[in-house]
Amino acid sequence: MPTVFLAILASNQAHLLPQFLAYIERLDYPRERISIGVLTDHNIDNTSAMLHEWVMNVEVLYHSVSLIDTNDVVYNSEPLVWNDERYLHIMNLRERSLNEARRQWADFILFVDCDNFLVNPRTLRNLVAQNKSLIAPMLTVHKDSMYSNFWCGTDEHGYYKRTSSYVPTLNRERRGCFPVPMIYGTILIDLRRQGSTRLSYKEQPLNYGGPNDDMLLFAASVKAADLQMYILNDEVYGHLMPTASQYSSVDHLKVYYSDYKMTTLLNAGDIPYTDNVYRPTRPTDNLGFDRVYMINLKRQAERRKRMLSALNELNFEYTVVDAVDGKSLTNEDLSSLKIKPLPGYLDPIVKRKITLGEIGCFLSHYNLWKEVDELELKRVIILEDDLDFEAGFINSFRWLITEADTVVPDWELIYLGRKLVYGNDQEDQVPGADTLVIPNYSYWTLAYTLTLAGARKLLAQRPLEKIIPVDEYLPIMFDKHDIVDGGVLSS
């Protein structure tokens, strides 16, 4: 296999390093063909110490590993504010890595920024196999974001320009390896190519005239060398994390990052941590709730793994609840629990009676309501195992509950996720609230909060004696169900 010089630049990234380095270690490429060069400086967090520890532990695993730490250098500006001084410095660092790879006669150099998580172990191998001069794996933020690590078009000044091919490429409706005018963050450069010696992050090509920006200057250098950049999106390769340049302090970034990464990594259910860096145990935080329950069928092992990974990353102290498997329910079970379907009930869409699976789902929630009642828990969070966390979940949740406790202190149930049967325009805002509405007829019980008073109201109706699906039962209880018009009854 060709030799690769892996260039890592890290500054104030202690909150990312345990996971970022784990993904580096998992790359499916012969380690004896990889040399690693790490540059770090200007840290006001624990980045320097973590990198020293990591390099010491992994240097025997690779062809070579080096660390250059100039942490005694200080900026004149705030720690995370980007200006010309900082851009010039990062350009010098990238140029230094590029020259070191050339000095070692490496076949390739792979630049990887610490906020680029290469979750696919085949990333490096696949990039090399494409046999391109410059290529990047497509990295995304989350499903609702338009941001990525490539541009499909640029204007006459070299800046971003929206094109018709960008969104299909980002959404992987258009898959493959495509020529593009800009890639950044993670870039593999073939140093054996004619023209690669002209590439530079520092030396401005003739007639450049642009700003001191490492991305723009390097793209101009590529163009001047008559080389082409490519983006590869045939597989899911990784994700972009929030960058330090977006925040005013490292502490602010840490808080935001721990919340933000859920939508990219937690929902994928695969969050490795390197064993070569010490990671202190973080205290759990249930956000003021007595319990966080996660309902899961034992036979859904992958769902359990994914959710436990997410809940651990959220620092929840959670309780896993084995769901009642409707497929295993017998007539004797139904009789002993005094379960009887609501007379005349038919599913409003497919016009069928309640299924054993729906009965099992109802019992899973019902058993939790009973536990809340018996243990007199003041408030709980109930989650199912097939939800996806949205970016900003923790901060949004804190604000939501603070608002609820302020404007409706006697609240009993709050949907955290649902399928609204009717349009949003038909729902009334809770007086004095910015984020709370009074829900209309809604489906799904994938995530909700419940108080002791709410649980007791749900139990008081003895719902097992007239059982319907749980996501039909809740709207009846807050009087927003079509049943009032006969919509779900056959008679």
Give the DSSP per-residue string, 60-73: TTSSEEEEEEETT-
* CB-side neighbour CA atoms (13 Å) of 181: 19
Asked if residue 260 belongs to a domain, the reply is no
Cα–chain center distance at 234 = 20
Instruction: Verify that 353 and 467 share a domain, yes or no.
Output: yes
The pLDDT score that the predictor gives to residue 382 is 97
- CA dist., res. 383 & res. 294, Å (int): 5
Q: Which of 447, 448, 481, 459 is nearest to 366 (CA)?
A: 459
Asked if residue 443 belongs to a domain, the reply is yes
Instruction: Verify that 190 and 288 share a domain, yes or no.
Output: no
Asked if residue 67 belongs to a domain, the reply is yes
Looking at the 3D structure of the chain, how many domains does it have?
2
Claim: this prediction has a pTM higher than 0.75 = yes
Asked if residue 224 belongs to a domain, the reply is yes
Q: Which element (helix H / strand E) includes 404?
A: helix 393-407
Domain boundary among the residues 247, 262, 289 is at: 247
The pLDDT score that the predictor gives to residue 260 is 46
Domain boundary among the residues 203, 227, 247 is at: 247
Instruction: Verify that 204 and 337 share a domain, yes or no.
Output: no
Asked if residue 266 belongs to a domain, the reply is no
Instruction: Verify that 243 and 296 share a domain, yes or no.
Output: no
Q: Which domain holds residue 27?
A: 4-247
Asked if residue 294 belongs to a domain, the reply is yes
Instruction: Verify that 88 and 167 share a domain, yes or no.
Output: yes
The pLDDT score that the predictor gives to residue 312 is 84
Instruction: Verify that 241 and 356 share a domain, yes or no.
Output: no
The pLDDT score that the predictor gives to residue 76 is 60
- CA dist., res. 362 & res. 384, Å (int): 12
- CA dist., res. 73 & res. 482, Å (int): 67
- CA dist., res. 236 & res. 226, Å (int): 29
- CA dist., res. 416 & res. 399, Å (int): 13
User: Reduced to 3 states, what is the DSSP secondary structure of residue 318?
Assistant: strand
Domain boundary among the residues 226, 247, 268 is at: 247
Residue 412's CATH number = 3.90.550
Q: Which residues pair with 428 in a beta bridge?
A: 438
Instruction: Verify that 243 and 294 share a domain, yes or no.
Output: no
Instruction: Verify that 153 and 199 share a domain, yes or no.
Output: yes
Instruction: Verify that 145 and 90 share a domain, yes or no.
Output: yes
Instruction: Verify that 183 and 53 share a domain, yes or no.
Output: yes
Residue 226's CATH number = 3.90.550.10
Instruction: Verify that 237 and 141 share a domain, yes or no.
Output: yes
Q: What is the pLDDT along the chain (491 residues), one digit of tens a residue?
A: 999 999 999 988 888 899 899 999 999 999 999 999 999 988 888 899 999 999 999 999 999 999 999 766 665 655 556 677 778 888 889 999 999 999 999 999 999 999 899 999 999 999 999 999 999 999 988 777 788 999 999 888 888 888 999 999 999 999 999 999 999 999 999 999 999 999 999 888 878 878 888 899 999 999 999 999 999 999 999 988 755 444 444 444 444 444 445 455 555 556 788 999 988 777 888 999 999 999 999 999 989 988 888 888 888 899 999 999 998 989 999 999 999 999 888 888 888 899 999 999 999 999 999 999 999 999 999 999 998 887 678 888 999 999 999 999 999 999 999 988 866 567 889 999 999 999 988 899 999 999 999 999 999 999 999 999 999 999 999 888 765 444 444 33
Instruction: Verify that 32 and 99 share a domain, yes or no.
Output: yes
Asked if residue 390 belongs to a domain, the reply is yes
Instruction: Decide if 276 contacts 54 (C-beta within 8 A).
Output: yes
Asked if residue 35 belongs to a domain, the reply is yes
- CA dist., res. 459 & res. 29, Å (int): 57
Q: Which of 333, 362, 387, 381 is nearest to 477 (CA)?
A: 362
- CA dist., res. 82 & res. 75, Å (int): 10
